[in-house]
Amino acid sequence: MSWLSKSLSSSIGKKIIMAITGLSLILFLTVHFINNMFLFFGKEGFDMLVSSLDAVKPIVRVAESMLVILFGFHIYNGIKLWWENRQANPEKYAVNAAKENSTFFSRTMPYTGGIILVFLILHLASLWVKFNFGMEGTHHYYDVVAATFQSLPVAIFYVFVMLVLGFHLNHGFQSAFQTFGWHHKKYTPLVEFIGTAYAVVFAIGFSAIPIYFFIRSMGGN
Amino acid sequence: MKETKINLTLKVWRQESAKSKGNFEEFKVAVSPHSSILEMFDELNNRLELEGKIPIAFESDCREGICGTCGLVINGHPHGEKKKTATCQMHMRSFKEGETIYIEPFRAKAFPILRDLMVDRSGLDKIQQAGGYASFNTGSAPDANAILISKETASLALDAAECIGCGACVAACKNSSAMLFVSAKVSQFALLPQGQPERYERVQNMVIAHDESGFGSCTNTYACEAECPKGISISNIARMNRDYFVSNLKLQNV
């Protein structure tokens, strides 16, 4: 084994992979978030935005391949960490005092991650496939989104997962900084604040979309 | 003067060996509020021996919170709920009359149970042997203040050196990771000029020994810091992560 793969498969190495891919995915989410916010500024704006991305398809495909690699490493390592850590701690205490020494968000990372993975697969299989291969030459992307969230179960599922995503990010953001070794009395509270702010903004912003379209569809519009 | 005693119900983990199956055994005790939890076990063991029963196995040595030998999980907390206190310094006045207390051994795959409340913590020794030292030439003692160290750095190094190696961080961690321990041992040398020659080999070797001993990975839940009887800071883990990263880029091993 080369020094690189040896180092990256050590317990700290796996953390470093989680942190680098995690922060990169947050960057992707930021772009995704900004694009999604165009939904609130009407049909024309959003359709034009997605059409303009359609026009530079090769670049989008390169970005998507990078995302596949990032997600791949993040998910593979996450599952590996979860499994190995379960093996390292097979016997549980009769009295569980975990809630008194750690946060809910930090303890549930593998589970919130798992829920997000299920969502990711469904989200790609529905909206991404539709946007990329199911438009039949038209550019009515906005209508596709609006139609998707007419269904109450779909809307509820999206809102639930966005809340879970917020939980995941709330721990993940500051955790990445700790992994890189950036921990200091003076700026760690700021990092924690930014992470929580990110989590809250993403959770509220993303879940506003299904809520908005579902309520609109109720109004018969 | 007659001393008032408090009545407690103990649920103590009994297990004959690493391989056998363990279970909780219940004991009713009346104990002085001034006695420590270990003294309570001493009294209970005397009673068990008089009754011809097998006493409860537990570890202790200095009984003043500095050796790191004692270590019980009391109501789910390694070394009990009281912050920055070792098991031996935990007094029965912390408990209420009639309370039921669950006492378990440290649980981790890397800490196999020897008997009852005793676990084998030699995994920590293996980590220490891999790099938890600094090498010096023998000869006459060097001048005390020949190498200047700032007060702030010296304090941080001493804070890290406070680690007594008890293994509570492993017991508290949901992944049974010993990273707080490793990071304290790495930091106490990494911060000081005397630790520099071996700085990067040290962190590499200790992390490898950590992983090989069957401990899990750190996922930054910080339960270790909350339960540590010496209040070792997770900023040491950050320092170790940083040193580990740098060591991979610096060292000549390919």
Per-residue confidence (pLDDT) for residue B2, from 0 to 100: 67
Query: Is residue B144 included in any domain, yes or no?
Result: no
For residues B169 and B199, state if they share a domain: yes
Backbone angles phi, psi at B54, to 5 degrees: -80, 125
Query: Is residue B106 included in any domain, yes or no?
Result: yes
For residues B217 and B195, state if they share a domain: yes
For B227, the domain range is 121-135+150-250
* Burial class of residue B94, CB neighbours in 10 A (0-12, 13-18, 19+): middle
Q: Work out the average pLDDT over A204-221.
A: 89
DSSP three-state, residue B128 = helix
Query: Is residue B141 included in any domain, yes or no?
Result: no
Terminal Cα distance for chain B, rounded = 73
> Which chain B residues are Cβ-neighbours of A171 within 8 angstroms?
220
CA nearest B11 in A: which residue?
A94
In this complex, the residue of A85, A95, A175 whose CB is nearest that of residue B220 is A175
Question: CB of A133 within 8 Å of any CB in chain B?
Answer: no
Question: CB of A169 within 8 Å of any CB in chain B?
Answer: no
For residues B171 and B203, state if they share a domain: yes
Query: Is residue A54 included in any domain, yes or no?
Result: yes
Query: Is residue B145 included in any domain, yes or no?
Result: no
Question: CB of B191 within 8 Å of any CB in chain A?
Answer: no
Residue B6 and residue B95 in contact, taking contact as beta carbons nearer than 8 Å: yes
Q: Do A100 and B75 touch (CB under 8 A)?
A: no
Q: Work out the average pLDDT over A188-200.
A: 97
- C-alpha triplet A175, A177, A182: angle, nearest 5°: 135
Q: Do A102 and B221 touch (CB under 8 A)?
A: yes
Question: CB of B239 within 8 Å of any CB in chain A?
Answer: yes
For residues B245 and B168, state if they share a domain: yes
Query: Is residue B174 included in any domain, yes or no?
Result: yes
Question: CB of B232 within 8 Å of any CB in chain A?
Answer: no
Per-residue confidence (pLDDT) for residue A135, from 0 to 100: 85
For residues B102 and B18, state if they share a domain: yes
Query: Is residue A26 included in any domain, yes or no?
Result: yes
Best probe of the B interface among A83, A85, A184, by most B CBs < 10 A, is A85
Token pair in block for residue A146: 């609006």
The yes-or-no verdict on residue A221 having pLDDT over 60 is: no
Question: CB of B130 within 8 Å of any CB in chain A?
Answer: no
Query: Is residue B142 included in any domain, yes or no?
Result: no
For residues B40 and B128, state if they share a domain: no
- As for the ipTM of the complex, it is 0.93
Q: Work out the average pLDDT over A42-57.
A: 92
> Which chain B residues are Cβ-neighbours of A10 within 8 angstroms?
207-208, 211, 244
> Percent of chain A scored above 70 by pLDDT?
99
For residues B23 and B79, state if they share a domain: yes
For residues B80 and B156, state if they share a domain: no
In this complex, the residue of B217, B238, B253 whose CB is nearest that of residue A178 is B238
When pLDDT is cut at 50, 70 and 90, the band that residue A1 belongs to is low
Per-residue confidence (pLDDT) for residue A65, from 0 to 100: 97
For A174, the domain range is 9-86+105-218
Query: Is residue B143 included in any domain, yes or no?
Result: no
For residue A122, the domain's CATH number is 1.20.1300.10
When pLDDT is cut at 50, 70 and 90, the band that residue A167 belongs to is very high
Q: Quote the number of domains for chain A.
A: 1
> One digit per residue, pLDDT tens: chain B, 254 residues?
567 899 999 999 999 998 999 999 999 999 999 999 999 999 999 999 999 999 999 999 999 999 999 999 999 999 999 999 999 999 999 999 999 999 999 999 999 999 999 999 999 999 999 999 999 888 888 888 889 999 999 999 999 999 999 999 999 999 999 999 999 999 999 999 999 999 999 999 999 999 999 999 999 999 999 999 999 999 999 999 999 999 999 998 87
Shortest Cα–Cα distance, B45 to chain A (Å): 23
Q: Quote the number of domains for chain B.
A: 2
What CA–CA distances, in Å, run from A99 to A102, A195, B72, B205?
6, 21, 19, 33
